[in-house]
Amino acid sequence: MSCVNCDQKIMKYRCKRCPEFTCSLACHKQHETVDCCAEVATHQIKSKPAQSTYQHTVPFKTVDTVEPQKLKELEKSEKLKDLLRNPHLREYLVQIDKSPDAWKAMKIAMLEPLFIEFANECLNIVEPDL
């Protein structure tokens, strides 16, 4: 994957409105003014929380792919909401998301009991039979 504006291989920013990545703040701002993002931005009403207009599609499935409707169930979990109130857990998630080596960041996070509790709760929701 590369930046949607300049094709650099470095991806620092992910769009909040669509699945695209950009390499710099300048490219990110430019991306927000074009295509789907400009349309979404002009239709948002400030008095109401923004609703996601992005439909998740899976370009290719593997044995580990979780169906989008199953992922939606995560939103309903009060236990997950409670866990996510913890700033330390949120920081782990941000670091994993920002990491150029997500697997390494996950291995480090999995040493932390709080993150393990979060991961187990997610798995209990998306794969309750395991």
Phi, psi of 51 (to 5 degrees): -100, 140
Exposed/middle/buried for residue 3 (C-beta within 10 Å: 0-12, 13-18, 19+): buried
Amino acid (one-letter) located at 11:
M
Per-residue tens of pLDDT for the chain, all 130 residues: 677 778 777 777 777 777 777 888 888 788 777 755 555 444 444 444 455 554 556 667 788 788 888 888 898 899 999 999 999 999 989 989 998 998 899 899 999 999 999 999 999 998 887 6
DSSP 8-state symbol, 21: E
Residues 22, 50: Cα–Cα separation, whole Å? 22
Both tokens assigned to 97: 């998301």
What is residue 57's predicted lDDT score, i.e. its pLDDT? 64
